[in-house]
């Protein structure tokens, strides 16, 4: 479905091009695309410079249905066979167009960030808001300088709320994204150790996360995890209205009576006595994500009964901690696309409590971007691995060696297995021999370790 509808002349004017041919008034743009393979009819193509130069793919985009393109003025051979809007910088023009279109549609903007949980919180929040509003949300992980403007340009004319995920891997990034989107509501799910290699400390990560409030409207709302002292401290600098969620009575919204089963978690909240909430995911950390979404829903006056139903029926984003079946009949808890110490500890804790008739096995890959403290942080997972609950531990990668060493006085030698990153074939063979239809296995690691190869080899064909 086409998301937008604008004349090419309007787009040209929005990005600062006033002198345009009359013939352009006949051209209507229905969507904006920067990947020539995904271009649909009536697209405007944005040639960006990544590993390849997008200008090399303009002809391909036109063949696939694009009717116009942006073109960097310092790039030679301006095409004459189709409209080319000459700009200083195609990415900056994409961002400028997104801001123009955002003001034109004028929805409420909910912006979400956090070291863990931002994608799940974004999806939960959109599900709750969709019960009463026309909602557009960030697709996949389109959460950077390219993804955020593309999300904004994906709005239909009738969009009432846009839920925007915002990521960061350096100072200043969230400041830029927040000022672009000018949110009505901002959410910080938590502060962890993700990207600590680039920031040096959790304090500096918290400083960078707080940048999401930089573009918050004066009458906006700042929702954050009140259990995090680093956020409580920094929230004093924010003048806008604030609201906290968490697991303590000091929070305005907090969870009680959390019960985890294999494929769902139930909890209650202080604001609605005797009402059980259920999410189709395991782990107390996902209850925190649900609380963040409930806080947004409350701010937007969503009917509490609809909140309960929407959370129960919420669809989990693919590859985010999901159960799949293995070839030997074992159950596999897959989380192979992201890992950091906070997330790993939480999922190991939840996995350790699942009901099983057989054994529990854990496969952990290196957690990347942890800098000088990396070995120490990998070794810290030792406290979360209990031989009474986790029968065997399979570790992959250079830094996981530190954890393997740390487990030696806790586990028998034949219960700890370490592999280099290129030894996944041996790991797969070793696991296949051990796993039975009574067992469960957790697979978690940073994407760069490619544990999806292990998952794929173990998984039962659908």
DSSP 356: -
Report the alpha-carbon distance of residue 63 to residue 40 in Å, rounded.
10
Report the alpha-carbon distance of residue 70 to residue 58 in Å, rounded.
9
Contact present, 314 and 376 (Cβ < 8 Å) = no
Contact present, 439 and 330 (Cβ < 8 Å) = yes
Residues counted in the chain = 462
Report the alpha-carbon distance of residue 408 to residue 416 in Å, rounded.
8
For residue 369, CA distances in Å to 12, 166, 175, 241 come to 41, 19, 22, 34
Which pair of tokens denotes residue 57?
């793919």
| H or E element that contains 456 | helix 452-458
Give the sheet arrangement for strand 322-325, strand by strand.
322-325, 331-335, 440-444, 360-365, 392-396, 416-419
Residue 109: closest CA among 181, 168, 176: 181
Q: Helix (H, G, I), strand (E, B), or coil: what is residue 132? A: coil
Which pair of tokens denotes residue 78?
């301006």
Q: Which residues define the annotated binding site for ATP?
A: 114-120
Report the alpha-carbon distance of residue 246 to residue 216 in Å, rounded.
22
Report the alpha-carbon distance of residue 46 to residue 2 in Å, rounded.
17
The values of phi and psi at residue 440, to 5°, are -130, 145
Contact present, 443 and 335 (Cβ < 8 Å) = yes
Which pair of tokens denotes residue 146?
């390219």
Report the alpha-carbon distance of residue 31 to residue 171 in Å, rounded.
31
Which pair of tokens denotes residue 325?
């079946």
**Residue 186: how many CA atoms within 13 Å on its side-chain side?**
32
Which pair of tokens denotes residue 255?
């969870």
Report the alpha-carbon distance of residue 129 to residue 106 in Å, rounded.
16
Contact present, 197 and 369 (Cβ < 8 Å) = yes
**CA atoms 338, 343, 344, 350: torsion sign:** negative
Residue 427: closest CA among 392, 395, 459: 395
Q: Which residues define the annotated binding site?
A: 114-120
């Amino acid at each position: 479905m086409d998301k937008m509808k604008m004349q090419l002349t309007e787009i040209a004017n929005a990005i600062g091009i006033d002198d345009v041919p009359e013939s352009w008034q006949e051209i209507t743009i229905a969507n904006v695309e920067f990947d020539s393979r995904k271009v649909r009819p009536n697209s405007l193509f944005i040639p960006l410079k990544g590993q390849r130069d997008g200008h090399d793919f303009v002809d391909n985009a036109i063949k696939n249905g694009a009717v116009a393109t942006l073109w960097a003025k310092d790039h030679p051979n301006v095409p004459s066979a189709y409209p080319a809007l000459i700009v200083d910088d195609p990415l900056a023009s994409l961002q400028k167009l997104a801001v123009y279109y955002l003001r034109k549609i004028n929805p409420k903007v909910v912006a979400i960030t956090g070291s863990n949980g931002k994608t799940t919180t974004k999806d939960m929040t959109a599900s709750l808001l969709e019960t009463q509003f026309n909602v557009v949300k960030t697709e996949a992980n389109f959460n950077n300088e390219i993804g955020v403007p593309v999300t904004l340009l994906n709005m239909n004319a009738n969009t009432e709320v846009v839920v925007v995920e915002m990521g960061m891997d350096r100072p200043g990034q969230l400041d830029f994204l927040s000022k672009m989107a000018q949110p009505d509501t901002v959410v910080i799910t938590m502060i962890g150790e993700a990207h600590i290699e680039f920031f040096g400390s959790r304090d500096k990560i918290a400083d960078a996360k707080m940048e999401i409030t930089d573009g918050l409207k004066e009458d906006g709302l700042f929702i954050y995890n009140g259990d995090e002292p680093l956020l409580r401290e920094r929230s004093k600098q924010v003048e806008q209205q604030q609201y906290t969620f968490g697991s303590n009575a000091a929070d305005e919204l907090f969870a009680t009576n959390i019960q985890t089963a294999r494929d769902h978690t139930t909890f209650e909240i202080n604001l609605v006595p005797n009402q059980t909430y259920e999410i189709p995911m395991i782990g107390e950390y996902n209850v925190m994500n649900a609380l963040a979404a409930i806080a947004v829903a409350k701010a937007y006056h969503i009917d509490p009964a609809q909140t309960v139903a929407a959370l129960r029926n919420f669809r989990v984003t693919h590859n985010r901690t999901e159960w799949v079946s293995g070839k030997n009949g074992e159950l596999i808890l897959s989380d192979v696309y992201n890992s950091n110490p906070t997330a790993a500890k939480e999922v190991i804790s939840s996995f350790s409590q699942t009901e099983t008739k057989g054994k529990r096995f854990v496969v952990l890959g290196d957690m990347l971007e942890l800098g000088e403290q990396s070995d120490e942080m990998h070794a810290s997972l030792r406290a979360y691995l209990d031989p009474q609950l986790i029968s065997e531990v399979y570790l992959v990668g250079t830094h996981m060696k530190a954890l393997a060493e740390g487990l030696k006085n806790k586990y028998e030698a034949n219960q700890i297995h370490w592999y280099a990153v290129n030894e996944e074939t041996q790991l797969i063979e070793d696991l296949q021999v051990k796993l039975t239809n009574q067992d469960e296995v957790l697979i978690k690691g940073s994407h760069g370790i490619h544990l999806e190869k292990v998952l794929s080899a173990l998984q039962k064909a659908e």
